[in-house]
Structure 1
Amino acid sequence: MSVLKRAFLYITRKYSRNLILLLILTAMSLLMLAGLSIRARAQEAAGDVRKSMTTGFAVEGLPVAGEKVFALYTNDKGELVRRPKVKLLTKDGVDRVLALDGVKGCFGGEGTETLYTGLNVVPGGYSQGWEQRLAQEGEAEPQADGIENGLLSDESNAKSNNFLGVDDSEWHPFFMNGALELVSGRHIRSGDRREAVISDELAERNGLSLGDTVTGRQFDFVTGERYSSPYEVEIVGLFHVNFEQDMSRWTAEPDILANCIFTDPGVRRWGMAEYKKHYGGQPVVDEEPLYNGAVFYVEDPAQLESVMEQVQAMDIVDWDYFTVERKDDDYQTSAGPIQTMADLSGGLVFIVGFGCLAILSILSAMWIRGRRHEIGILLSVGVTAKMIRLQLLLECALVALAAFLIAGLAAGPLTAALGNAAARAVGPSGGAQPFSVSIEPGTSKIQVFKTAGEPIALSYGIAPGEFLAVFLILLGIVGVAVLLSSRLVTRLKPREILGRR
């Protein structure tokens, strides 16, 4: 009788054992097909996120006393000039970094001026205080004593905006991470003078459009006195805030993103000059344009470490006074849940595979010990141990094939169900805000962080390669389990096997 026929007869006659084996192998195949499919789809999605998200690194100056890095002298114009005593970040250094392979853009920092504009801004904490004082005074406008009773101070703060001076607003982190989106006009570009990009909400509240102007003035934050010459900017673009900013009664109007105005870096120099003019003091100018820091963006997050190492090896600054830090929090926030899905599904495949190997090894050992009499007779009539092991392998392989075919038919719905459950478990909740806003204490610097990626929605089709991989793994596990459990019996002599009870 051939090996194949003996294997087939055993399967049909010992249907209870083989039914147990069929159920185990079917469950294993289903879980492994689902795990491999989810892992593959999650890795593809993570790759798409990597291509769509922009990550980078920051070259930032360390906090040190000014006299350690600058020397002061008076030039022919009577201006007090700062001359670097150490190598600081200049445009030449920035350009050298931008020339590296993999670096695609740079944001060179910003200077912020809070100016009174008189606009109808999105109300915050100062508006509430101003309205309460007006109600108490029973008047519509502050009078001469407004400086003393706080009306003028509240009004100036309640109708003020942060003017963010930037070289190129397109590379500003708020636009790069998707918190803000240009919806009309253009960005602030290098070389612009007194142009502005404002929010569509601020424009709508004040009936403004492209080509209109906004005028700001410096004011005393305590008294509310407005003292500077007017700073007029022309609107060249409108942006939209892509999330609802969480605000409290303490959120100041200038700290509300919809009230922010992007303009060129000249606003900071103008503001410092106006401040010195009003309060006294000699304006300080730089001998050459300097960057307090810069954020560089790379084309692929996978290149980030390599590019950072190259930058640290360059002599663009004195590295005793500067540091390089990763700026990939937004990418990690978006890709993190997807990568977690990939890791969990890969772990599922690993655990199922080794768990099944252990279970099959134990069951095979028990079943083969129950077939010692049969194996002893086969050995005594001249059937070799090799052929007996082949028969045992064929028996399990035929059951494994049937289990795989059943699993292949049911894997689609199960994979989708498990994948969606995993996505809900590790992904962001539907009601979570995608961004959060924080204000740096003492500086009023606004920072926007990505707090949640998009809800995970993957297509869980099983590729032919994944079917083949699971089938080969299945056969490998079955083969190892049978060989491990059968060697203790097949290596004995027929007399030893038949003589045991």
Structure 2
Amino acid sequence: MNYLKRAWYSVSRRKGKSFILFTVVFVLGNVIAGAIAIQQSTGNVEKKMKQQLGATVSAEMDIDKLMEEGDGTASFTGPAPLKEETIKQIGSSSYVKDYDYSYSGYLTVDKFKTYQMKNDNVSVNGDIASLNLKGSNRSEAADFKNKKIKLVEGRLVSKDEIKNGKAVAVISKKVADENGLGIGDQMVIDTKMVSQNADGTSESQEALKHSIEIVGLFEPITLDKKKSDEKKGGIQQQFLEMDQFNTIYMSNKLVRSINQQEIEKGKELDPDAYKDEEVQQQITPIYNLKSPDDVEAFKEEMTALLPEGYKATASTDEFDKVGGSVQKLSTISGYVVILSIIASLLIISLVVVLFMRDRKHEWGIYLSLGERRKHIMQQVVLELLFISLVAMCLSLITGNMLGKLISESLVASDALTELQQAAGNQLFISGSSSLGASLSTEDVINNYQVKFSLSYIVTFLISGISTVLLSAILPLTYVMRLNPKKIMM
């Protein structure tokens, strides 16, 4: 009889033993399938979220390191501002698609109205109102390009206006409405200098008035989207809103000019506060990379060129802050896959050998009749495959469901959510990052999906069949050692 038919009859007639082997493979297959489903899903959500965040890298002050050097206090002297030569040298990297750099400024204003938090329980800087200035060498500033904000009225600053440093700017619609301003109006930003007295009180002096034409109005995109659930945003969200709405976008030349005017006026009003020969202005570079896959390699290359006190910060770092549970699941599922494959090899091998010991007389008869050992070995492998393929096809479905049930409950569990909220608090500190990247735990959970895919099916079947074939090595060794003469005696 053909060994193929013998394999089929052996499986179909030994129903009890076939069922036991089927159950073993089915249970182990569920573990492997569930772990592979989780691992691929976690990898997919990380890739998807990082694609959404984009491939943007900036150089920012390493606050944590500077705080350590300052004995944990904020009273440290920050590093010298980056030089344009360094920024351009980093921008020549093969990973960079294009780049821009932004001069920044900070104005303490007097009568000009700013956007304030709508929270009676929180006081921000007392009665001091301030505006952030963000410069750019491009018409489309980084925050517009990275979809952090959108233009709702008017236009962006033109290339000629940027080149000539013309006094034009784009401001938030809320700040414009607070001051009764619109497109084409001249806003007058009256600044003041605040100094602290020895007794702890403060006093202010009128400084300068900057007249700037409003050419465009913007509204935030990310912050506006998250307003659908104000309770989850809390005070942290309001701080981020206030910081964004009180930002003014203009050319680098105009920011530098305003900063220089403020410095000169400050020296005039309070010479003791400006003892240094020259107060250098802060520059923040923004590099857009060709692919999110290049982020880590570029960060290493960039870090080597940055001076002491700076670090490379990527938009994709936000996923690492709030996606801790997903990354932890990926690591755990990887270990589960390895351990379950090892367990499958041992258990299936031992079960098959145990069953074959009762069939040694059958093998002895075949060998005595002149059957070749390789055909007996092929019969053993076929019997394993007949049962295992059915079990694996079923576990492909149930394992996916099991992986989905377990992983989604873990991602949304209170324990992991607390870890993610702790990471989210770091976002509050870095909310003014030039990259503007922002993620919440909810974003990660909403993007996490365990589903059937071709890669999942192929990976599982390859893993399962390879495991079954490897587990046949021990039984085949047993067949090779059979001595028909001793068996039949």
Partner of 1:225: 204
Contact 1:33 1:411 (8 Å CA) reproduced: yes
* 1:95 pairs with 2:92: no
Amino acid paired to 2:368: S
TM-score, normalised by the number of residues in structure 1: 0.70
Partner Cα separation in structure 2 for residue 435 and residue 450 of structure 1: 11
1:118, distance to aligned residue in structure 2 (A): 4.2
Which residue among 201, 205, 217 is the counterpart of 1:237?
A: 217
Report which of the two structures shows the higher radius of gyration computed on alpha carbons: 1
Partner Cα separation in structure 2 for residue 474 and residue 299 of structure 1: 38
Partner of 2:356: 368
* 1:274 pairs with 2:274: no
**Secondary structure, aligned partner of 1:267:** helix
Q: Bigger CA drift: 167-176 or 25-34? A: 167-176
Partner of 1:74: none
**Secondary structure, aligned partner of 2:384:** helix
Partner Cα separation in structure 2 for residue 94 and residue 409 of structure 1: 53
Contact 2:58 2:434 (8 Å CA) reproduced: no
Pair 127,23 (structure 1): closer, same or farther in 2 beyond 3 Å:
closer
1:331, distance to aligned residue in structure 2 (A): 4.8
Which residue among 464, 471, 474 is the counterpart of 1:484?
A: 474
Pair 24,55 (structure 1): closer, same or farther in 2 beyond 3 Å:
farther
1:255, distance to aligned residue in structure 2 (A): 7.1
**Secondary structure, aligned partner of 2:444:** coil
Contact 1:489 1:497 (8 Å CA) reproduced: no
Contact 2:188 2:209 (8 Å CA) reproduced: no
Partner of 2:77: none
**RMSD over aligned Cα, in angstroms?**
4.7
Task: Name stretches of at least 5 consecutive residues in structure 2 with no aligned partner.
Answer: 67-79, 197-201
Contact 2:106 2:130 (8 Å CA) reproduced: no
Could you list the per-position Cα deviations for residues 70-92 of structure 1 after superposition, in whole angstroms to 9, with x for gaps in the alignment? xxxxxxxxxxxxxxxxx985434
Which residue among 100, 103, 117 is the counterpart of 1:106?
A: 100
Partner Cα separation in structure 1 for residue 217 and residue 416 of structure 2: 34
Task: Name stretches of at least 5 consecutive residues in structure 1 with no aligned partner.
Answer: 65-86, 131-153
Contact 2:319 2:439 (8 Å CA) reproduced: no
Amino acid paired to 2:204: E
Q: For 1:307-326, what aligned pairs fall within 5 Å after superposition?
A: 307-308=298-299, 322=308, 325-326=311-312
1:279, distance to aligned residue in structure 2 (A): 2.8
Report how many residues are paired: 441
Partner Cα separation in structure 1 for residue 354 and residue 400 of structure 2: 34
Pair 409,332 (structure 1): closer, same or farther in 2 beyond 3 Å:
closer
1:399, distance to aligned residue in structure 2 (A): 0.8
Q: Bigger CA drift: 484-493 or 419-428? A: 419-428
Contact 2:42 2:330 (8 Å CA) reproduced: yes
Which residue among 119, 127, 132 is the counterpart of 1:163?
A: 132
1:340, distance to aligned residue in structure 2 (A): 4.7
Partner of 1:81: none
Partner Cα separation in structure 2 for residue 461 and residue 252 of structure 1: 38
Percent identity, aligned pairs only?
18
Partner of 2:440: 452
Partner Cα separation in structure 1 for residue 433 and residue 323 of structure 2: 27
1:486, distance to aligned residue in structure 2 (A): 4.1
**Secondary structure, aligned partner of 1:268:** helix
Amino acid paired to 1:363: V
Contact 1:61 1:292 (8 Å CA) reproduced: no
Partner of 1:21: 21
1:404, distance to aligned residue in structure 2 (A): 3.1
Could you list the per-position Cα deviations for residues 160-180 of structure 1 after superposition, in whole angstroms to 9, with x for gaps in the alignment? 223324235988787787665
Q: Bigger CA drift: 416-425 or 374-383? A: 416-425
**Secondary structure, aligned partner of 1:110:** strand
Partner Cα separation in structure 1 for residue 91 and residue 358 of structure 2: 73
More RCO (CA 8 Å, sep 6+): 2
Partner Cα separation in structure 2 for residue 310 and residue 464 of structure 1: 36
Partner of 1:142: none
1:491, distance to aligned residue in structure 2 (A): 0.8
Pair 341,450 (structure 1): closer, same or farther in 2 beyond 3 Å:
same
Contact 1:201 1:258 (8 Å CA) reproduced: yes
Partner of 2:465: 475
1:358, distance to aligned residue in structure 2 (A): 1.6
**Secondary structure, aligned partner of 1:455:** helix
**Secondary structure, aligned partner of 1:383:** coil
**Secondary structure, aligned partner of 1:119:** coil
Contact 1:26 1:406 (8 Å CA) reproduced: yes
**Secondary structure, aligned partner of 2:412:** helix
**Secondary structure, aligned partner of 1:112:** strand
Partner of 2:70: none
Contact 1:60 1:292 (8 Å CA) reproduced: no
Pair 446,55 (structure 1): closer, same or farther in 2 beyond 3 Å:
closer
Partner of 1:10: 10
